[in-house]
Every structure is written in C-alpha cells, then in structure tokens.
C-alpha cells in the first residue's frame, strides 16, 4: 500500500497518517487542538508532539478554548512546570493567549478556519499548488489575517502544516491511498 513518504518512518507516524492526517476536521475544539499541536511542533520533530499528545490534552483541558481562557496565572505556571508536556513557556503562553482570541471571535473557530477555503477542502493541490509560491500565498494570507485578529506564535510553515493536517487541503501524495480516499469525501 502506497503512503506519503514522510509517514513510513515508524508505526506511530504511519497510524497518524492513515487515520488522522488530512482528514477534514469541523469540530472547533479538535481544530484548536491541532492548531496548538502545530505551535508545539515548531522546532521539534512531529513524533515528539505525538508522543506527548495525551499529556498535552490533559494539561490543556482537552484544548477547550473556553476552559483555557479561564485558567489563572498560577494554573498556567503549573502547566509550564509540568514535566509531561513540552515545556516551552513561550509556546504554552501562546496557547493560552490564542484560546482567549478564539473565545472573542464572532464565529466558531471552525467557521473561522474553514472560511479561508470557502468551507470546502481543496481537493487538487497538485494542480493548484504545483509550486511553493502558491502554497506560500495561501499560508501568508491566513497568517496575515490571524495575526490581525490577535493570534500569536504563527508563521507560514506551521499554518501550512496545520491546514494540511486538518484537511483544508488534501496534500497527500497523489500515489498515496489516502489521497484517493479523501478525494471522495
């Protein structure tokens, strides 16, 4: 069975690829989780994030922005000191800040994210994104708007990885079995 080349390095990556990566996510809290995980991934190996994901879910109240926005400074410090999570204070503070931003949006986080692709996944990235320039333009547009709306710790690379992971675009390699599975959704 053909898979995206990045996913064949170990079983955990393969399972993530086969079951999650690129599958459209519409539920706001799950989208926020994926957004937060991409922030944690910056400068790290994705496998490290996957290995810590369950601990991160516990420490970050299942990535519920409403609950996170009510954390006290002392509770945030407890998360920063938690040895089971990725202990980067800037990233952790960014997650809490971004949760506050999400709670202030005039729409759900899902609607906010999906509006960037007119509420339907881009199904033919090999045609639309056959150059790095097109990928950069999409990511730049999203980053520009998100920064304007108050989000922090975002850039072209982690936002593009986010839109790939949550299915805004079907960026599986064309030979990958998931590319064709997701093309019919």
38 is catalytic: yes
* Residue 17 annotated as binding site: yes
Active-site residue among 33, 38, 112, 179? Answer: 38
**Active-site choice (16, 21, 114, 160):** 16
Q: Quick check: is 71 catalytic?
A: no
**Residue 21 bears catalytic tag:** no
Cα–Cα distance measured from residue 125 to residue 114, given in angstroms and rounded to the nearest whole number? 16
Cα gap 94→88, rounded to integer Å: 10
User: Any binding-site annotation on 124?
Assistant: no
| Of 21, 46, 160, 179, catalytic | 46
Instruction: Point out which residues pair with 25 in neighbouring strands.
Output: none
Q: How far apart are CA 175 and CA 9, in angstroms?
A: 17
With a CB cutoff of 8 Å and minimum separation 6, the contacts of 65 are: 28, 29, 32, 98, 99, 100, 102, 103, 109
Task: Please say whether the beta carbons of 127 and 183 come within 8 A.
Answer: no
CB 173, CB 119: distance < 8 Å: no
Query: Which residues fall within 8 angstroms of residue 144, CB to CB, at 6 or more apart?
Result: none
Tell me how far the alpha carbon of residue 185 is from its chain's centroid.
20
Binding residue numbers: 4, 17, 172, 176
Q: Which residues are annotated as a binding site for Zn(2+)?
A: 4, 17, 172, 176
Residue positions annotated with a catalytic role: 16, 38, 46
């Amino acid at each position: 069975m053909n898979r995206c080349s990045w996913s064949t390095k170990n079983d955990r990556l393969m399972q993530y690829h086969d079951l999650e990566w690129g599958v459209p996510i519409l539920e706001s809290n799950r989208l926020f989780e994926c957004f937060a995980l991409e922030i944690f991934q910056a400068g790290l190996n994705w496998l490290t994030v996957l290995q810590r994901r369950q601990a991160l879910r516990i420490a970050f109240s299942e990535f519920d922005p409403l609950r996170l926005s009510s954390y006290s400074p002392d509770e945030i410090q407890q998360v920063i000191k938690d040895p089971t999570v990725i202990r980067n204070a800037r990233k952790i503070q960014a997650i809490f800040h971004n949760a506050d931003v999400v709670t202030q949006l005039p729409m759900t986080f899902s609607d906010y994210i999906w509006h960037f692709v007119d509420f339907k996944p881009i199904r033919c990235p090999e045609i639309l994104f056959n150059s790095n320039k097109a990928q950069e333009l999409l990511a730049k547009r999203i980053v520009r708007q998100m920064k304007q709306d108050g989000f922090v710790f975002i850039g072209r690379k982690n936002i593009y990885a986010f839109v790939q992971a949550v299915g805004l675009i079907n960026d599986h390699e064309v030979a990958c079995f998931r590319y064709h599975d997701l093309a019919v959704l």
